[in-house]
Amino acid sequence: MVKRHRPRREGTDSSFHHVMLKHAWTIQGGFLSGNADLEYEVPLKRLASALGRPPSPMSAPPLTLVPAPPPSRPCSSAPALSITVPGAAMPIRTINALALSLALAITPLAVTPLAAFADEMPGRQFADVGDFRVAYREWGEPGDPAVMLIHGIPLNSVLFSRVGPLLAEQGYHVFAPGQLGLSYTDGPMDADHSLKGQAEIMTDFANQVMPGPYILFGHDLGGGIAQIMVTDSELKEQNQVRKIVIGNSAVLDMWPVPEANAAIAKAKSAEASQIFSADNVREIVKNFASAGLMQPEETLTDEILEDLYGNYAENESTRNHFIEYLKAMDNRLTLEASPQMVMWNKPAMLLWGVHDPFQPPYVSGVALARIMPHATWEYLDASHFYPLERPQEVVDAFVAWDQQ
């Protein structure tokens, strides 16, 4: 379900209560401090659950949620929030922001059964782009508005296997290329595997394979790539991005996440080739993907798992590229790119799953929203890999935003 930023209501609605989240956060070396206000309407019962008491009536001043004293821990930890009511002598209760986000989660609408999309996964195609053989999936008809979908780690274009056909039904021509090191895309082992190198591959792919201007949708590290594509002094002159969507993305220095850091350390060790054996990579990929899903047993079908396993487990070259990819993960690239998104003057949407354990909306989402106050910000009742879990909701949000 899409959670929209809604204007404050007047009157005495008994179902919703208006809440202002005062995010007093700036990003300095991975820590948070500073200020930004965001307003939401949340279900009354869930608000009561978060507060431990019924909220004030709609006619009363809105509740204000403000951060506790500046945190002394990395921003990947959930900062505490003090909950106050105007006029109260002291904060009513201090709770963890993660607990708050879960407590305020929107009651899901009916979700399209995942099995409905089982027959919609097309086979991979390949395009020779410079020194690279780029694997990609494609949906839709030539002449329809073009969309590029860029996945993150550790998935490949299978991340969009349920979103792609739905976007095609809505009249879009969709391309989902694979990153070098995370997919069936192949190339020189000494190639640049960093997000900058991936951005160069994606830009060249679009210019060679995709027709005309396109909407760019980057998820996870794909979101970091998207930021580089439209801010790098050379790449932004080469691409034809006309709108951008960034979802649960790497932002500033708020990545790599702990799970990725553990893999990076192993990739840099002398035993990397033994550690990243076929069997071990299968476990790494499944565990990482499962951690970013609300219902991994239902979502990670045999078809999806086999697509991922075939990518890593059956291809030694891909595993070696995967090692190089991990070694090249460097947040200095997004520390440079993310602040420049303030200069993006075309339509933009930030699409975040509220249950994301890797890039929570109250950390990386808030940071990017502060940089891009002009962007539309939409929430989904989903975890990190929401294109697999909530494909219809993703498409509904995308189409509504594009048609504004």
Query: What are the tens digits of pLDDT across the range 322-359?
Result: 999 999 999 999 999 999 999 999 999 999 999 999 99
Which residues of the chain are in CATH 3.40.50.1820 domains? 114-402
User: Residue 22 — pLDDT band, cuts 50, 70, 90?
Assistant: very low
**What is the CATH class of 114-402?**
alpha beta
The SS3 assignment for 380 reads strand
Hey, which residues does 349 pair with through a beta bridge?
245, 376
Indicate the range of 29-43, 132-146, 269-283 predicted with least confidence.
Answer: 29-43
Q: In whole angstroms, give the CA distance from residue 332 to residue 324.
A: 17
Paired tokens of 77: 């930890």
User: Residue 309 — pLDDT band, cuts 50, 70, 90?
Assistant: confident
Q: Using CA atoms in the order 242, 247, 253, 255, what is the torsion angle rounded to 10 degrees? A: -140
pTM for the structure as a whole: 0.73
pLDDT of residue 191: 98
Between the alpha carbon of residue 191 and those of residues 206, 209, 312, 362, the distances in Å are 19, 21, 18, 35
pLDDT of residue 14: 35
Q: In whole angstroms, give the CA distance from residue 128 to residue 215.
A: 22
pLDDT of residue 262: 87
Indicate the range of 214-218, 219-223, 285-289 predicted with least confidence.
Answer: 285-289
Tokens 């007047």, residue located: 10
Mean pLDDT of 63-80: 34
Tally of CA atoms within 13 A in the half-sphere of 346 that contains its CB: 14
Does 19 score more than 70 pLDDT? no
